[in-house]
């Protein structure tokens, strides 16, 4: 058993490549758990950051600075009454939230959190991811249709139109990134791990490739990504002021929370695609320019240091808590939380852990930036009107992404020809 | 379309402006929220809150039983009775009932009072579980102190 364990640890690849169902299952369970916790954290951060942007405080009462709020929310949702409308199509009504969750989580099979930290290295990774995430539309339409409610139906229809039209621009932007992977080796790859490796090989994240072109493709993807996940300013399917809650109007309690979970998991999933395609996936900053053992060590201390900073923030909060008996429990809680964070930071500094965790850390950090962007957009932009939405999708993003595609092809061929003429070694 | 607005649109200048505004307002110092039971608002001196009757220096009532406050009240929520003191031949207030549940804190009674006996004070935590508790008599009004602030 232990030898099995050690053998896998020394194997430099994913469980899929190793061919071990057991390890794949363990990875899947870990990813499932971590993604759920990340969603809880995300709901807390979203409420807090959004509140601060609107000059409010956000949750403050449940735990120190509202840190236990997500747990309280989850508990509330679990014990809430679960209502099925009388006229609803019972089977589809049951299936829709499950389908949303399953499509959101299935995409995680191919997300590379690190070179060894993916469930499997599928050779059609990006295609699989995009295909699975488009299935989410079906689930949303299912929810809207089966609820037997006008609001839900309108939300479902809007969602279908929106997600289908933005998928086109998104797909074209992805194709231009995929074409970039073929530059150095001559053959492109759709494997998520292969894409990151080719970025390392070419010595540049694809966002900086052929300077403005890669950036434009990335921007198109970043906009389409927000529309794909039905988030503000493209949150028409669940527009509160127009459709109460859109496609999940009739859902309550646990099933509503499945929708919620699915939405946030999908957000993280789509951000992971963006990070993998354009921002160098799990690669740390400057893996080629600043290579060598010293730099490796320096960069691999980053996760530990981050946790120490978080712990320090907790202690500052602890020191600044009002000195009143009513704040005693909260202060102690914040202190304990800081100690726990500090201990995690200390564990992350152990050399054996440090090496293993660095790539996961850089990947999560990049995804975290996207999560912040999602919240930031929500705090800033008003919702698009439906005709504006369609105009942006079809008349702006689609032509731009087509132009970028052609540009990448032309520049890429020229680049390759020049490289061939000059006899530059590949 | 002239060139400047077009460029502004292409480079999403307006969106960036909006983003920078929300980004710059994230500091917790900008927050306007008051953590109520722990932090308490500063109440202005002339705030019209919980009604009370002021007493003179020797603890005697300042009320002369003129009934002006009851007449001034738009809600007719003050009922008072007065008798003539046989010795001093002055009017003395005997019963005084102030029904806060109907009060809109307009302060007309306070303005009508010639001796400045009746006053709407600065207390503002007047929530109760019963309506009966809101009908205040003379005892309560004269010996009322500001309520113990909630501070747990």
Mind listing the pLDDT tens digit for each residue in B4-13? 888 888 888 8
Q: What digits encode the pLDDT tens for the residues A324-341? A: 777 777 788 888 888 888
Q: Is the pLDDT of residue B149 over 60?
A: no
Using a CB-CB cut-off of 8 Å, the residues of chain A touching B23 are 53, 376
| Closest by Cβ to B22, choosing from A325, A326, A380 | A380
How far is the C-alpha of B22 from the C-alpha of B34, rounded, in Å?
21
Q: What digits encode the pLDDT tens for the residues B35-64? A: 777 777 888 878 888 888 888 888 788 888
| Contact (CB<8Å) B22/A56 | no
Using a CB-CB cut-off of 8 Å, the residues of chain A touching B30 are 52, 55
DSSP character at residue A325: G
Residue A5, pLDDT score: 67
Phi, psi (deg, nearest 5) at residue B34: -110, 125
ipTM above 0.90, yes or no: no
DSSP character at residue A67: T
| Contact (CB<8Å) B31/A380 | no
Closest chain A residue by Cα to residue B151: A326
End-to-end CA distance of chain B: 64
* CB-based contact B78:B109 (threshold 8 Å): yes
| Contact (CB<8Å) B33/A56 | yes
DSSP character at residue A206: G
Residue A242, pLDDT score: 74
Chains A, B: CB contacts within 8 A come to: 45
B19 interfaces chain A, CB cutoff of 8 Å: yes
- Best mutation target among B22, B35, B149 (most A Cβ atoms within 10 Å) is B22
Phi, psi (deg, nearest 5) at residue B95: -125, 145
| Chain A closest-CA separation from residue B45 CA (Å) | 27
The model's confidence at residue B146, banded by pLDDT at 50, 70 and 90, is low
Element (H, E) at A112: none
Residue B74, pLDDT score: 92
Residue A147, pLDDT score: 85
B24 interfaces chain A, CB cutoff of 8 Å: no
| Closest by Cβ to A55, choosing from B23, B32, B35 | B32
Enter the tokens of residue B21. 């505004």
* CB-based contact A252:A83 (threshold 8 Å): yes
How far is the C-alpha of B67 from the C-alpha of B91, rounded, in Å?
11
Phi, psi (deg, nearest 5) at residue B118: -80, 135
| Closest by Cβ to B38, choosing from A324, A376, A381 | A324
Reported as half-sphere exposure (CB side, CA atoms, 13 A), residue A142 has a value of 17
Residue B152, pLDDT score: 46
| Contact (CB<8Å) B18/A381 | yes
Using a CB-CB cut-off of 8 Å, the residues of chain A touching B38 are 322, 324, 326-327
Phi, psi (deg, nearest 5) at residue A273: -60, -45
The model's confidence at residue B1, banded by pLDDT at 50, 70 and 90, is low
Task: Find, among A224, A115, A132, the residue nearest to A176 by Cα.
Answer: A224
How far is the C-alpha of A33 from the C-alpha of A426, rounded, in Å?
42
B130 interfaces chain A, CB cutoff of 8 Å: no
| Chain B closest-CA separation from residue A213 CA (Å) | 14
Closest chain A residue by Cα to residue B39: A322
B10 interfaces chain A, CB cutoff of 8 Å: no
Alpha helices in A186-301 (DSSP H): 192-202, 211-228, 240-243, 253-278, 293-300
Report DSSP letters for chain B, one per residue: --HHHHHHHHTTHHHHHHHHHHHHT--GGG-----TTTS-PPPPTT---SEEE-B-TTS-B------HHHHH-TT--EEEEEEE-TTT--EEEEEEEEEGGG-----HHHHH-TTS-EEE-S------S-SGGGEEEHHHHHS--PPPPP--
- Best mutation target among A45, A50, A54 (most B Cβ atoms within 10 Å) is A54
| Contact (CB<8Å) B26/A49 | yes
List B93's β-bridge partners, or say none: B82
| Contact (CB<8Å) A376/B22 | yes
B26 interfaces chain A, CB cutoff of 8 Å: yes
- The ranges of chain A with pLDDT < 50 are 425-426
C-alpha dihedral sign at A282, A288, A290, A293 = positive
| Closest by Cβ to A53, choosing from B22, B37, B151 | B22
* CB-based contact A220:A401 (threshold 8 Å): yes
| Contact (CB<8Å) A380/B18 | yes
Enter the tokens of residue A260. 């919620």
B149 interfaces chain A, CB cutoff of 8 Å: no
| Contact (CB<8Å) B19/A380 | yes
Q: What digits encode the pLDDT tens for the residues A203-240? A: 778 887 777 888 888 889 988 989 888 888 888 777 66
Domains of chain B in sequence order: 51-124+132-143 (3.30.70.3270)
Task: Find, among A35, A192, A22, A190, the residue nearest to A105 by Cα.
Answer: A35
How far is the C-alpha of B39 from the C-alpha of B151, rounded, in Å?
9
| Contact (CB<8Å) A55/B152 | no
| Closest by Cβ to A57, choosing from B21, B31, B37 | B31
Domain ranges of chain A: 15-290+388-425
Portion 27-46 of B in contact with A at CB < 8 A: 27-28, 30-33, 35, 37-38
* CB-based contact B90:B64 (threshold 8 Å): yes
Find out whether the peptide bond into A233 is cis, omega within 30 degrees of 0: yes
């Amino acid at each position: 058993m232990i030898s099995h364990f050690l053998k896998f640890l020394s194997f430099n690849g994913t469980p899929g490549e190793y061919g071990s169902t057991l390890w794949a299952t363990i990875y899947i369970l870990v990813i499932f758990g971590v993604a759920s916790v990340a969603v809880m954290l995300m709901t807390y951060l979203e409420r807090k950051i959004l509140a601060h942007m609107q000059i409010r405080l956000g949750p403050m009462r449940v735990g120190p600075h509202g840190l236990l709020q997500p747990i309280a929310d989850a508990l509330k949702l679990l014990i809430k009454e679960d209502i099925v409308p009388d006229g609803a199509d019972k089977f589809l009504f049951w299936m829709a939230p499950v389908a949303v969750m399953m499509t959101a989580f299935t995409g995680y099979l191919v997300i590379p959190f690190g070179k060894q930290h993916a469930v499997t290295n599928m050779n059609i990774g990006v295609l699989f991811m995009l295909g699975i995430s488009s299935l989410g539309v079906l689930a949303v339409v299912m929810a809207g249709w089966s609820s037997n409610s006008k609001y839900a139906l309108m939300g479902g229809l809007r969602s279908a139109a929106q997600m289908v039209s933005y998928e086109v621009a998104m797909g074209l932007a992805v194709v231009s990134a995929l074409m970039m992977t073929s530059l150095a080796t001559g053959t492109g790859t759709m494997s998520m791990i292969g894409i990151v490796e080719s970025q390392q090989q070419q010595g540049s994240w694809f966002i900086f490739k052929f300077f403005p072109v890669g950036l434009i493709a990335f921007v198109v993807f970043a906009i389409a990504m927000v529309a794909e996940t039905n988030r503000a300013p493209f949150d028409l399917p669940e527009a509160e002021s127009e459709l109460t809650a859109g496609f999940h109007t009739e859902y309550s309690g646990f099933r509503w929370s499945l929708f919620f979970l699915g939405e946030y998991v999908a957000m993280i999933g789509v951000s992971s695609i963006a990070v993998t395609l354009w921002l160098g996936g799990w690669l740390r900053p400057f893996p080629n320019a600043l290579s060598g053992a010293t730099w490796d060590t320096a960069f691999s201390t980053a996760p530990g240091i981050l946790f120490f900073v978080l712990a320090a923030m907790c202690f500052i909060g602890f020191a600044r808590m009002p000195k009143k008996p009513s704040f005693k429990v909260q202060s102690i809680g914040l202190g304990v939380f800081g100690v726990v964070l500090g201990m995690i930071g200390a564990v992350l500094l152990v050399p054996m852990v440090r090496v293993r965790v660095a790539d996961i850390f850089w990947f999560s950090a990049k995804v975290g930036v996207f999560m912040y962007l999602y919240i930031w957009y929500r705090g800033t932009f008003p919702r698009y009107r439906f005709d504006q939405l369609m105009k942006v999708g079809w008349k702006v993003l689609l032509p731009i992404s087509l132009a970028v595609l052609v540009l990448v092809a032309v520049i890429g061929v020229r680049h390759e020809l020049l490289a061939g003429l000059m006899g530059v070694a590949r | 379309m002239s060139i400047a607005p077009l460029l502004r649109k292409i480079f999403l200048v307006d969106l960036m402006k909006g983003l920078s505004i929300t980004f710059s307002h994230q500091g917790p110092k900008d927050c306007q929220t008051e953590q109520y039971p722990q932090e308490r608002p500063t109440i202005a001196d002339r705030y019209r809150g919980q009604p009370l009757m002021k007493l003179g220096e020797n603890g005697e009532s300042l009320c002369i039983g003129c009934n002006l406050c009851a007449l001034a009240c738009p809600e007719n929520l003050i009922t008072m009775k007065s008798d003539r003191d046989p010795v001093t031949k002055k009017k003395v207030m005997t019963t005084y009932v102030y029904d806060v549940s109907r009060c809109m804190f307009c302060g007309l009674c306070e303005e009508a009072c010639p001796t400045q006996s009746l006053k709407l004070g600065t207390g503002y935590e007047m929530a109760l579980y019963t309506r009966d508790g809101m009908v205040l008599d003379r005892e309560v009004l004269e010996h009322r102190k500001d309520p113990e602030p909630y501070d747990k």
